[in-house]
Chains A and B, each alone.
Chain A
Amino acid sequence: MQIFLGESIAGQSAIGRGMDMNTQITIAGVDFKNPVMTASGTFGSGMEYADFVDLNKLGAVVTKGVASVPWPGNPVPRVAEVYGGMLNAIGLQNPGIDVFLQRDIPFLKQFDTKIIVNVCGKTVEDYVEVVERLGEEPAVSMLEINVSCPNVKEGAIAFGQKTEALYGITREVKRHAKQPVIMKLSPNVADIGEMARAAEAAGADALSMINTITGMKIDIHRRKFALANKTGGLSGPAIKPVAVRMIYQAAQAVKIPIIGMGGIADGEDAVEFLLAGASAVSVGAMNFVDPYTTEKVIRGIEEYLETYHIEDVRELIGAVR
């Protein structure tokens, strides 16, 4: 792809034959230079991928889930490969909010990208504590509340699988949050539209989906579970059609914006999510496969816009009904 003009201002790339295109999107009043983010837990706090990717190019870095205190996570093996994807049961290992604020936020602040912090907890109080601490940090643009991790025994997932519980925690988090709140929904539910509506009714500013789908792998030679946790979350290209379907259904059910993820590997995948109704996308497991995936997705979206002479990426959002 050729850059026609020597400079490009935020969100505006002038490519090809001098076509002006807008890749900037806005979610809950926060502007992103492009709709490409990193999926929580697959990009650390950006540090590990800074060798590969220019973080300044990303719409946002979404960090690994952080709790009020350090969590040691699950026993190993924590990851397993499956056809077209992987299972993980990390168990939300994280260094706790203190270290996160001292180390990870200052690192990310060096870059011209938005910071979205993913929050996990076992009780409502846990979530609120982290949300309040993050409220003191203006560099954090948005909060993503993970109520959908399938890999921790207590709490968490329960909030994401019952409408009343989801409504309750969303309300509580919104009451304490200084930044706009994204509720990250679980795909392990019967009716995603109903869950999306519950979060919206409770005041969520945006939704993100999908988290991983609960799965299992058995090693037939050793006659053992592949993961110490027995079950794990399925992610990667194998789950993409499920993600597209759920984003479409949620987008039909609510008015708030949706950040879509689930197996995105290139620009074409990202466009599919936007057409289904997502306002932005996140790259998850594919970072492990190709550490340059995020930049590749950004370029791919621009190429698509250019090919079809679309001037504004926002025209794609929910364009297929």
Chain B
Amino acid sequence: MKKRVSARILSQREMENGIFDLWLNPMEPGFAEAVSPGQFVGVYTKDRSKLLPRPISICEVSGDRSSLRLVYRRGGTNTGTYSLSLLDGQTCGTVDILGPLGNGFPVEKGKGKKTLIIGGGIGIPPLVELSKRLEARNQIVIGYRDRTQTFLARDLEDHGKLFLATEDGSRGTKGNVVDAVRENQLGADIIYACGPMPMLRAVKALAAELKIPAYISLEEHMACGVGACLGCVVKTKEVHPHTNVNNARICTDGPVFEADQVEI
């Protein structure tokens, strides 16, 4: 069940330029245990002028299922994530979170299959817990802007065969993740993806071409995070049973959707 809870800050560090690695221990029994990969939490910053929770994917659940790892990009000095980045376990014990929110990736659909797990930039974090939980032959393709970024590549390496793409070609394939899929001639039974919209559009096209299902995680500005405000919709191919129009709420009906069901 969704809850707003306080979470102890176990650690926070800057992994690389502007990318933060935060471990939280929700002070609510069972909270972390109930999380499935692809779900997210709403993180409340300590800045009282910034009211809305920031949606951040759950990157990883600790081995003992008690703690959550969030990896996020810090915005400019006037953003909520900036004030979040200033917190640490010593100076400020807790941060409030709302969750677990949304429907994660269908892990069972990949069981025993050959998977393509595709991530771009700050869409990479949820793929860590996903690849960890998938009992499958994982091929993980991730894209970064340039060689200065490598966050979470090491973590992903443990859970599948890793392929890289960089926009400037400084590491791995030059180009985007779909270019890397082609260059390495990767085939698969199912795709899981999270990343910027142009990447997701390319993944959707790739899945259609390969005639395999793709599950993509979408992003939109949110207010409630629980399906009440209708702020975060995506256009859908069919009339959605909840909204009764051609759109669905990313926060509750998603954030993971089957690619051919959404108009992106």
Contact = CB atoms under 8 A, between A and B. Distances in A.
A288 B224 contact: yes
Contacts of A241: none
B223 A86 contact: yes
B231 A72 contact: no
A291 B230 CA distance: 16
A85 interface: yes
Interface in A11-45: 41-44
A3 interface: no
Contact of B231 (A48, A79, A221, A286): A79
A85 B231 CA distance: 15
A29 B27 CA distance: 45
A248 B53 CA distance: 32
A71 B229 CA distance: 14
B90 interface: no
B2 interface: yes
Contact of B233 (A52, A78, A86): A78
A88 B4 contact: no
Determine which residue in A81, A96, A286 has the highest number of CB atoms from chain B within 10 A of its CB, and name it: A81
A52 B231 contact: no
Contact of A77 (B4, B53, B221): B221
B228 A73 contact: no
A101 interface: no
A95 B231 contact: no
A84 interface: yes
Given A79-B221, A93-B243, A291-B4, A285 B228 contact: no
B252 A48 contact: yes
B229 A95 contact: no
Contacts of B228: 42-44, 48-49, 287-288
B51 A48 contact: no
Contacts of B244: 70, 95-96, 99
Contacts of A85: 51
Which of under 10, 10 to 19, 20 to 34, or 35 or more describes the interface residues of B? 35 or more
A49 B243 contact: no
Contacts of B98: 291
Contacts of A52: 2-4
A48 B245 contact: no
Interface in A35-74: 41-44, 48-49, 51-52, 64, 70-73
A76 B233 contact: yes
Contacts of B53: 288-289
Determine which residue in B2, B227, B230, B245 has the highest number of CB atoms from chain A within 10 A of its CB, and name it: B230
Contacts of A64: 230
Nearest to B52: A81
A286 B247 CA distance: 25
B246 interface: yes
Interface in A208-232: 221
Contacts of A83: 49
Interface string B214-232: 0000001111111111111
B51 A93 contact: no
B50 interface: yes
A283 interface: no
Contacts of A78: 221, 230-233
Contact of B245 (A72, A86, A289): A72
Interface in A61-119: 64, 70-73, 76-81, 83-86, 88, 90, 93, 95-96, 99
Determine which residue in A42, A79, A83, A287 has the highest number of CB atoms from chain B within 10 A of its CB, and name it: A79
Contacts of B245: 70-73, 93, 95
Contact of A44 (B49, B223, B227): B227
A99 B244 CA distance: 8
A236 interface: yes
Determine which residue in B4, B50, B223 has the highest number of CB atoms from chain A within 10 A of its CB, and name it: B223
A223 to B, nearest CB: 15
Interface in B206-264: 220-234, 242-247, 252
Given A48-B252, A95-B243, A288-B51, A88 B226 contact: no
A136 interface: no
A100 to B, nearest CB: 9
Nearest to A289: B51
Interface in B3-58: 3-4, 44, 49-53
Contacts of B226: 48-49, 51, 291
Nearest to B251: A48
A41 B52 CA distance: 16
B234 to A, nearest CB: 8
Contact of B229 (A88, A99, A237): A88
A70 B245 CA distance: 7
Contact of B49 (A43, A84, A99, A288): A84
Given A48-B226, A48-B227, 4 more contacts: A42-B224, A52-B3, A76-B232, A286-B51
Interface of B: 1-4, 44, 49-53, 76, 80, 98, 220-234, 242-247, 252
Q: Which 10 A-B pairs have the closest CB atoms?
A: A95-B244, A79-B231, A44-B228, A48-B228, A72-B245, A288-B224, A79-B223, A77-B221, A48-B227, A289-B51
7 contacts: A41-B230, A44-B229, A77-B220, A79-B229, A96-B244, A288-B223, A291-B224
Interface of A: 41-44, 48-49, 51-52, 64, 70-73, 76-81, 83-86, 88, 90, 93, 95-96, 99, 221, 236-237, 285-292
